Structure 1
Amino acid sequence: MTGFRHGGQMDSGSQRDKTPVEGPEVLPLGSTALLLRFGLTVTPRATAAVQALHDMLDKADLPGVTEILPSLASVMLRFDPAKVTRADLAARLATLTGTRDWHAAEPRPAMRLWQVPVAFGGVHGPMLEEASALAGLSPEAAVRQVAETELRVLAIGFAPGQPYLGLLPEGWNLPRLSDLAPQVPQGAVTVAVRQIVLFANASPTGWRQIGRAAFRPFRPEARDPAPLRAGDALRLIPCSGDELEALLHTGDPDGGARCQVRA
């Protein structure tokens, strides 16, 4: 995903996070895209501003724009140069964003809530104890806190359909591993910098695996290969290891997940 660095640092609770979020810089990106960037450092406020900006652009009349992709501190717009020039689009974006108070920006309520079964700890979450200790919690309290947090899909990136979810409470502003884990399985639930990544495919990672889901975020055989969308809400519902094994055995890509459409 353009404009997104895997595992961007979350400057949670810092002086930078206490300063107002200014309007986004409008920057050229390649020959057919613009990047609206709130900063080089990811903060909770910048992330909230990105979600609000994505909502605004999604509803705006922007002729020639072919794709809008949010990241953690920026939003990318791809455009058709046969229908709009870069200069005209940049001017339109400056007008749209110039009057908004981005310091107080809030995303609109999520229209969809996913409930995804996850087995925490044990063979499915081999680093739960380490991660919970770093967060200052017992493993049981850590699972409870994660399960009680309504997460948002902040961005899709690093791999097709793969969601970055957040934000967890500030105690979860954990550093990445100093050395990569050789591989986590598809469905691995990993944590770092107040975010959770639900892995779409088996992959090496510098994030700590605390659980696993049978839900598949990327389904190349399906009409809609990436069921999660930026802005969706998501809750991780604890299940037992045996229950997860049964869900994996069915081969159902939903893995027991339910999607509720909110009014």
Structure 2
Amino acid sequence: MTDWPKIRTVGLSGILVSFADKLSEPANRAALAFRAAVDGQNWSEVSETSTSLVSAFLQVDLAATPFGAMKERLIELIRQQNWFAAPLPEGRTLWHVPTVYGTDLAPQLEEAAEVAGVDPDTAIKQLSQARVRVLTIGFAPGQPYLGELSETWNIPRQQKLTQAVPAGALVVAVRQLVVFTNVTPTGWRHVGQTAFRTFRPDAACPFALSPGDEMTFPAISEAALKDIKDKDTSGNGGAEMEVLT
């Protein structure tokens, strides 16, 4: 970790503070904690912040603000603690999202299990009991990349695209899960189906999830999911939510 973090400019639009060149739990933790620390500084030059898997981005008008001055502030903040072991930000949530595994609703469960080297029942047990972090939001509005799963699930993407998976699809690849926002093609394997809406454009807060939140996907039956869809109008898809402290 001695070569990290690195501070770089992104054109004239901002500054990227990267904690690694590939995903790991400590690097994601560092990016989340450091972004929260930057937000806490209330620097007038920073109009917005966000995170990717391993980086924190600060939106700064570098045509008006000297990069050198901002870099000095960031270096001083970096030196304040070991960000790779920093506490995660406060106010995060944990969602328990009911999920149907396999069946016609999620037809690639068996294929994914075979690639992972486990039987379908073991796959369902492992995926339904996993507790994963929202590593970042991307690709579509509110869409979470979740991880990391155990090394068993370090399976590659498909070589061909699945033509479309529905909104609420739970897909898996490279030790991560994704809950899809919209009907979309994907190279990830469709292993579960939820009624959870990650993007709620009419809500006061359109994104249901934020980086650092956590999720579990307990297994339910097809009939239970149908009942949830018939009765739930909140977009939570029958999910239970608790605040993490």
Q: TM-score, with normalisation over the residues of structure 2? A: 0.90
- Alpha-carbon distance in structure 2 between the residues aligned to 1:170 and 1:42: 13
Which residue of 200, 209, 216 corresponds with 2:181? 200
Q: Which runs of 5+ in 1 are unaligned?
A: 1-19
- Alpha-carbon distance in structure 2 between the residues aligned to 1:205 and 1:259: 28
Which amino acid is 1:204 matched to? P
**What is the deviation of 1:243?**
1.5
Query: Which residues of 2 match residues 179-190 of structure 1 at below 5 A?
Result: 179-190=160-171
SS at match of 1:196: strand
The 8 Å contact of residues 119 and 212 in structure 1, kept in 2 or not, is answered as yes
Partner of 1:13: none
Partner of 1:74: 55
**What is the deviation of 1:70?**
1.1
Partner of 1:254: 236
SS at match of 1:237: coil
SS at match of 2:206: coil
Which amino acid is 2:241 matched to? C
- Alpha-carbon distance in structure 2 between the residues aligned to 1:30 and 1:250: 49
Residues 106 and 127 (structure 1), Cα distance of their counterparts in 2 relative to 1, 3 Å cut: farther
**What is the deviation of 1:115?**
1.1
Residues 200 and 48 (structure 1), Cα distance of their counterparts in 2 relative to 1, 3 Å cut: same
- Residue 37 (structure 2) pairs with residue 56 (structure 1): yes
Q: TM-score, with normalisation over the residues of structure 1? A: 0.84
Partner of 1:115: 96
**What is the deviation of 1:91?**
1.9
- Residue 34 (structure 2) pairs with residue 36 (structure 1): no
| 1:43-78 Cα deviation digits (max 9, x unpaired) | 344223323323433433433222221111212111
The 8 Å contact of residues 52 and 137 in structure 2, kept in 1 or not, is answered as yes
Total equivalences in the alignment? 244
The 8 Å contact of residues 49 and 102 in structure 1, kept in 2 or not, is answered as yes
Partner of 2:114: 133
SS at match of 1:239: coil
The 8 Å contact of residues 232 and 238 in structure 2, kept in 1 or not, is answered as no
- Alpha-carbon distance in structure 1 between the residues aligned to 2:217 and 2:3: 33
The 8 Å contact of residues 147 and 236 in structure 1, kept in 2 or not, is answered as yes
- Alpha-carbon distance in structure 1 between the residues aligned to 2:238 and 2:2: 39
SS at match of 1:125: coil
| 1:175-218 Cα deviation digits (max 9, x unpaired) | 11111111111000001111110001111111111001101000
- Residue 222 (structure 2) pairs with residue 230 (structure 1): no
Task: Answer with 170-179 or 135-144: which moved more.
Answer: 135-144
Which amino acid is 1:197 matched to? V
**What is the deviation of 1:221?**
1.6
- Residue 195 (structure 2) pairs with residue 214 (structure 1): yes
Q: Percent identity?
A: 38
Q: Which runs of 5+ in 2 are unaligned?
A: none
